Chain A
Amino acid sequence: MNIRIRALAVVFFAAIVSVIVLPTSGCRPADPTLVKIVSSLPRTGSAKQQSDTIVRGIRMAVDEAGGRVGPFRIEYLDLDDSTAAAGQWTSEAEAANARRALQDPDVVAYIGTFNSGAAKVSMPILNLGDLLMVSPANTAVGLTKPGLGAPGEPQIYRPTGRLNYCRVVPADDLQGPLSADWAKKRGVKTVYILDDSEVYGKGIADLFDERCREVGIEVLGHDSIDAKAQEFKSLMASVKAANPDLVYFGGTTQSKGGQLAKDMVSAGITGILMVPDGCREQVFIDSAGAANLEGRCFVTFGGLPPEKLTGKGSEFVERYRKMYGEIPEAYAVYGYEAACVALSAIREAGTKDRRAITDKALAIRDFDGALGRWGFDANGDTTMKTLTVSVVKGGKFEFEEILDAAEEAVAAP
């Protein structure tokens, strides 16, 4: 007993000490010739395939720069904001990533997040340190646009009052309403809307809902699903009874987009299905069953899909294909562009001062990148206003049409 208690006491203290010492063992003083870029993406769980392509895009950007930018060497660190326990992103992991980036004096850019809910956690933290945050995928409107999100957004994400966040992908205030306009143009008269209750999914479903009512499409119902549920047969029976022309699902592949599509088809619903960019990945088609979606599933995406990119964009797609043996998923080029933005800002600033780098990034007004020529507006949003609609044919996404916000009237509420 004696020895055991002693051993256990030692274990106890070792546990405490290791918790304190282990993470700091990698600490070294700031290296004036080194800059680090970190990304915070969900690297475990079902979103892994998406984040894999984004990470590859970032790596390609860093490699193309030859591992150097201006007078500095660059290192890229791929951080995970999800945990194995949760199988998806968690507030704690995201906050820990943000703090870790802040504490490391060599880190000058933070590429993240993938999920809009996670960005809400790290934005205020990074804002306190003026660390540049470029998101390749956040689309929730409240992160940057005043008056469109919840009360207080986006000021609550900027405790210092200064901006540090920007995103290379158009926000949902584009995608949601334009989807409704597209539906109207197509002759849809009734819709049934579903969402996954998440920040992104519910956000875009609400925007779609609002716009439908504005343009005269009848909303027969709007329900939230439990993303942990296994099947939706009863729900689909209710939807079928309402008999909509179009079923809209605001959500992602991970929040059961595929299963909904399956159950929709097996319930005998004849309407078309429309989903936002959170479902724009091959995994969605596979999980729903290609035959189920054939010709009746339409996916919107803020920006151009890989096969439609031109100039630098198509070069990126080619290089990606050579390196990895497959064409990139939709978000890969956004990861690449986000990294290019960070690199360009570092190069222009010429120093490791975070504020200077952030200012240079936010000052981008005419960037010639893989996504085309675009710039940031005063809120840190991209000036790119292209939305594409793709249809699922033959088990793949096939480009259908471009919706340009300049042509469609987008009424900001």
Chain B
Amino acid sequence: MQFFLQQCLIGITNGALVALVALGYTMVYGIIRLINFAHGDLIMLGACLALSLVSAFGMAGGGMAATWLGVALLVVLCGLFCGGLNVAVDRIVYRPLRNAPKLAPLVSAIGVSFIFMNIGLFWLGPSDRSFPELLPATNLLAGEGLQFTAKDLLVLVVVVPLMLALSLLVKSTRLGKAMRAVSQDPAAAALVGIDVDRVIAFTFFVGGFLGGAASVIYGLYINTIGFQMGFQNGLYAFTAAVLGGIGSIPGAVVGGLVIGLVRSLSSAYVGERWTGAIVFAILIVILVFRPEGLLGRGTKEKV
């Protein structure tokens, strides 16, 4: 039983991280129907920056308070970096293609993903790099017989408030309302006076900011980054977004948790070697039987 609980705990923690990344995908898709293939690699660049900052400021070996403060600072800085980069890419690459057929932005996103990967290759080198262990490794749940350290706690402590903040943003603010309007019908939104391009840019910024936060957490949690990490992580996160219903924010969260649990439970009970196949097989099955995802709304195509 304990083994099952431990795997669930791992699954939820992993899943929370996946969910954070999935939010970036779902937001961009929700607003301009673009699968942003470059999001995973954007996060990789955020992690590169995080590593450079940590090395530059010599953060390893500080006191508890200093470390947590440092982490908070990292999250903000990398968030701003990724958010800004995302906005820039939207402005330069995707905005001119607003009215082009669907293939164009999709393939451009793949192109941007390659460019990001190459930047990562120059930044990090061809091998994986180790992220310093900033958080103590003491087991907080040793009494229960489970393994849960400060790292795992960090993931939940950062992810949950960010998601709540996002929901708040989308539901209760004017900008959030504008985002929802643009995602429903850009033409109508423009007609009522919403600056569609600004709203889209803002969406990219928020998605990127979340990605930047995710990159810091990833570095602290997994402790290894490499220029190729974007693909694998992006794939899982994207699967989570689709699973939950792409375009739906709660869907991304649910999808992330589901994917995290599937990964850990399948590794535990089927075997590590089959995990990749199982995750994607589940994706295919869900898409076949419920294409709009778990929490998505079915879209009817109008003539």
Contact = CB atoms under 8 A, between A and B. Distances in A.
Contacts of B275: 226, 229
B185 interface: no
B229 interface: yes
Contacts of A262: 130, 223-224
Contact of A46 (B14, B127, B130, B224): B127
Interface stretch (A27-35, A161-169, A181-189, A232-240): A232-240
Contacts of A233: 10, 14, 264
Contact of B127 (A235, A241, A287): A287
Contact of A235 (B130, B149, B228, B272): B272
A50 to B, nearest CB: 11
Given A223-B271, A223-B273, A234 B11 contact: yes
A258 B273 CA distance: 18
B223 A237 contact: no
Nearest to B268: A238
Given A259-B128, A266-B149, A283-B127, A232 B272 contact: yes
Contact of A234 (B127, B133, B267): B267
A197 B271 CA distance: 13
A287 B130 CA distance: 5
Contacts of A48: 126-127
Q: How large is the interface on B (under 10, 10 to 19, 20 to 34, 35 or more residues)?
A: 20 to 34
Interface in B1-36: 3, 6-7, 10-11, 14
Interface in A43-61: 44-46, 48-49
A149 interface: no
Given A49-B127, A225-B273, A241 B3 contact: yes
B10 A266 contact: no
Contacts, number: 98
Given A230-B233, A237-B6, A268 B224 contact: no
A48 B121 CA distance: 14
Determine the main DSSP class of A at the interface with B: helix
B272 to A, nearest CB: 5
A251 to B, nearest CB: 13
Interface in B194-218: none
Given A46-B128, A234-B267, A268 B147 contact: yes
Contacts of A253: 127
Contacts of A291: 133
B104 interface: no
B6 A45 contact: no
B126 A266 contact: no
Determine the main DSSP class of B at the interface with A: helix
A266 to B, nearest CB: 6
B39 interface: no
A229 B232 contact: yes
A267 B147 contact: yes
A238 B137 CA distance: 19
Contacts of B151: 266
Contacts of B6: 237, 241
Contact of B267 (A87, A230, A238, A241): A238
Contacts of A87: 126, 228
B132 to A, nearest CB: 9
Contacts of A258: 128, 130, 224
Contacts of B228: 87, 228
Contact of B272 (A44, A46, A234): A234
Contacts of B3: 237-238, 241
A231 interface: yes
Nearest to B267: A234
A282 B147 CA distance: 30
B222 interface: yes
Given A237-B268, A238-B268, A230 B222 contact: yes
A267 B272 CA distance: 16
Interface in B138-166: 139, 147, 149, 151
19 contacts: A45-B126, A48-B127, A87-B228, A197-B273, A225-B272, A225-B273, A230-B232, A234-B265, A234-B268, A234-B272, A237-B3, A237-B264, A262-B130, A267-B147, A283-B127, A287-B128, A289-B130, A289-B223, A291-B133
Interface of B: 3, 6-7, 10-11, 14, 126-130, 133, 137, 139, 147, 149, 151, 222-224, 228-229, 232-233, 263-265, 267-268, 271-273, 275-276
Give the 8 A-B CB pairs with smallest separation, nearest first: A234-B267, A234-B264, A46-B127, A224-B273, A235-B272, A241-B3, A231-B222, A233-B10
